[in-house]
């Protein structure tokens, strides 16, 4: 048995309209309008804050695939708020929970993105994080005059320099640069304002950013890439990793690998929080939870399940029989980390395409836990103490009931065991996660 850790489990909730089960929106409790109903988003963020969650997380894509529209029409995943806009609105109606939004390095410019997140961090009082991603499909490229879409390796080269520029811009002002001294007539100290003067292979950015530093110094950088290049980028830049692992052993292997890459960049294991996804189906008893799960599975439309599987694997599978095992597939240029998770799942249990799309419809390769609140807490403790996770990104099957059940049933169980906070002790996202405030680093020292 693993030694019990002395720190506490970190918790995020991954918001996705309707729920994380692909048929969650069809459940009688499922919301059908939360993707574009601001008040519903407010209620969910406040519920997570009531549960003392570390953060509320918003994903994003900047395109809709033009193929298989009839299948896509069966999933509530085509329309939703632009995440930075929603984050600003949520910052105004919450006061403690961290707020993390996704923004791509492939189809943004560093100055724009740095300025927006720096502003959000000030507005929220230091509660914001940036989920740094690279865009992974041609549908996104088509909206930004990019034809063809940038190759996988090139996307990560761009992302690495992009992140370097953004972090440099966030250090345009020292913490005490703004004097606002009415007696002397000086608003800021010019010696404490710094030009970046970045000239790299892809970006030329003079700076400075016209937004000062926030109470947490810089927004927290989150990363979700699990491929080799994704892990390398995370080792250099990330402070939180969202990842997918189906089993404890897979989680432990990823955890050891990710933490093991930090030393090469002058970083320590405490500089990175690893939060795999967990998909909890909660019942008062295990039997009740299993009944809930089977009902959700009965709502999956085959065309929708296949579309989701094809989207995650980045290829057309329509020529293959549904009730035969997944064939060998050639490499592709999409999101490689998630593809590897799903292929391992298929090979391990020799799943047919039908079985695989039903598995993917549940949690897209994340850990599925079906049981009572105590059983869910048992799994979380095992992963936490077993060094497979520092915390979890919770993926409720159905919104709002899945989140309500977790907050009302699982959180009190974790608190009873002394594994999760009963009150917030800090004000910023960094304080929640136990991450240090980054010291100011002048451009000439970078």
- Three-class DSSP labels, 336-347: HHHHHHHHHHHH
User: Rounded to whole angstroms, how far apart are CA atoms 51 and 289?
Assistant: 21
The residues facing 368 across adjacent strands are: 279
CA dist., res. 253 & res. 276, Å (int): 12
291 — pLDDT class (breaks 50, 70, 90): very high
Whether 312 shows a pLDDT value over 80: the answer reads no
Q: Each residue of 15-51: pLDDT tens digit?
A: 998 899 999 999 999 999 988 999 999 999 999 999 9
* Tokens (6 digits) for 116: 């927006």
Q: Which two tokens stand for residue 210?
A: 């016209």
CA distances from residue 195 to 174, 177, 272 in whole angstroms, order as listed: 12, 14, 29
Residue 216 pLDDT exceeds 70: yes
Q: Spell out the alpha helix ranges (H) of 145-277.
A: 152-169, 228-237, 248-260
- Topology (CATH) of 10-280+368-445: TIM Barrel (3.20.20)
Over range 163-182, report the average pLDDT. 97
Q: Residue 251 in contact with residue 389, Cβ under 8 Å? A: yes
Confidence (pTM): 0.91
Q: What is the pLDDT of residue 182?
A: 98
**For residue 269, what pLDDT is reported?**
96
Place of tokens 């370097």: 164
Give the three-state DSSP class for 40: helix
CB atoms within 10 A of CB 108: 17
pLDDT at residue 164 tops 90: yes
CB–CB of 130/117 below 8 Å? Answer: yes
So what's the pLDDT on residue 117? 98
pLDDT number for residue 228: 83
- The predicted model gives 212-241 an average pLDDT of 91
Query: Among residues of the chain, what percentage have pLDDT more than 90?
Result: 72
Helix (H, G, I), strand (E, B) or coil at 204: strand
Contact 259, 269 (CB under 8 A): yes
336: pLDDT strictly greater than 70: no
Query: For 61-91, what is each residue's pLDDT tens digit?
Result: 898 888 778 878 888 888 999 999 999 999 9
Identify the pLDDT of residue 69: 83
What is the residue extent of each domain of the chain?
A: 10-280+368-445
């Amino acid at each position: 048995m693993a030694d019990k850790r002395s720190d506490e489990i970190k918790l995020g909730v991954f918001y996705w309209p309707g729920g994380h089960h692909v048929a969650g929106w069809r459940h009688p409790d499922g919301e059908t309008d939360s993707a574009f109903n601001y008040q519903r988003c407010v209620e969910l963020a406040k519920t997570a804050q009531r549960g003392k969650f570390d953060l509320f997380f918003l994903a994003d894509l900047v395109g809709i695939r033009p193929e298989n529209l009839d299948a896509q029409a069966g999933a509530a995943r085509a329309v939703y708020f632009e995440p930075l806009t929603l984050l600003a609105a949520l910052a105004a109606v919450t006061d403690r929970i961290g707020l993390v939004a996704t923004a791509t390095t492939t189809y943004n410019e560093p100055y724009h993105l740095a300025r927006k997140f720096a502003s959000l961090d000030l507005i929220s009082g230091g509660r914001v994080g940036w989920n740094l991603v690279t865009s992974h499909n041609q549908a996104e490229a088509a909206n930004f005059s990019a034809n063809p879409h940038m190759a996988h390796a090139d996307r990560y080269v761009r992302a690495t320099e992009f992140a370097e520029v953004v972090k440099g811009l966030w250090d345009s002002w020292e913490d005490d640069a703004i004097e606002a001294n009415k007696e002397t007539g000086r608003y800021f100290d010019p010696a404490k304002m710094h030009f970046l003067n970045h000239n790299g292979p892809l970006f030329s950015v003079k700076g400075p950013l016209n937004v000062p530093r926030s109470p947490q110094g810089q927004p927290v950088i989150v990363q979700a890439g699990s491929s080799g290049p994704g892990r390398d980028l995370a080792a250099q830049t990330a402070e939180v990793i969202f990842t997918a692992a189906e089993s404890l052993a897979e989680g432990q292997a990823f955890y050891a690998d990710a933490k093991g890459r930090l030393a090469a960049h002058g970083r320590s294991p405490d500089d990175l929080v690893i939060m795999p996804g967990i998909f909890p189906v909660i019942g008062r008893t295990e039997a009740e939870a299993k009944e809930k799960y089977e009902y959700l599975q009965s709502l999956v439309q085959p065309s929708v399940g296949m579309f989701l599987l094809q989207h995650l694997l980045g290829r057309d599978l329509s020529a293959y029989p549904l009730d035969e095992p997944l064939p060998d597939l050639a490499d592709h240029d999409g999101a490689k980390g998630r593809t590897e998770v799903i292929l391992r799942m298929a090979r391990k249990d020799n799943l047919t395409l039908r079985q695989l799309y039903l598995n993917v419809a549940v949690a897209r390769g994340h850990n599925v836990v079906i049981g009572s609140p105590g059983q869910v807490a048992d799994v979380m403790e095992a992963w936490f103490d077993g060094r497979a996770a520092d915390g979890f990104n919770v993926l409720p099957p159905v919104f709002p009931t899945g989140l309500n059940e977790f907050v009302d049933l699982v959180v009190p169980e974790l608190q009873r065991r002394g594994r999760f906070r009963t009150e917030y002790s800090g004000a910023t996202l960094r304080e929640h996660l136990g991450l240090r405030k980054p010291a100011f680093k002048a451009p000439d020292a970078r």
